[in-house]
Amino acid sequence: MTATIVTLFVIVYIGMILGGLPFVQLDRTGIALLGAIAMISVDALNIEQAALSIHLPTLILLFSFMVLSAQMGKAGPPMDGRAVVFHRAYAGSTRGRARGASRVSGSKIPLRHIRSCG
């Protein structure tokens, strides 16, 4: 029994570290849920113990972070100080070389792509 519990724990922990397990194609959330189901099915915990082990304030905090993270993801990447300095230096260097507005815009497209991916 103890070896089974330790094996389940190690598999779930490795799945959390790797971000998923290739042979079940689950992400971290799915692995955690599958691990909880497995712990109940091998009688390591009964359903009442599993329900009592859920800490509601932590779940509320995690849900709030997920909502906040989704909103920040929709807003786009932040412009930190280094990016602003680099952008101003790059914009200043292209302004003198370009003869028209289209050349200035075309020369900034790679910078915008790099900044949006990072």
- Interval 74-98: pLDDT, tens: 776 665 555 566 666 666 655 555 5
Domain positions in the chain: 2-58, 81-117
pLDDT(49) > 60: yes
Lowest mean pLDDT among 23-37, 64-78, 92-106: 92-106
pLDDT(60) > 60: yes
pLDDT of residue 103: 52
Q: What is the 3-state secondary structure (H, E, C) of the chain?
A: CHHHHHHHHHHHHHHHHHCCECCCCECHHHHHHHHHHHHHHCCCCCHHHHHHCCCHHHHHHHHHHHHHHHHHHHHCCCCCHHHHHHHHHHHHHHHHHCCCHHHHHHHHHHHHHHHHHC
Average pLDDT, integer, range 110-117: 54
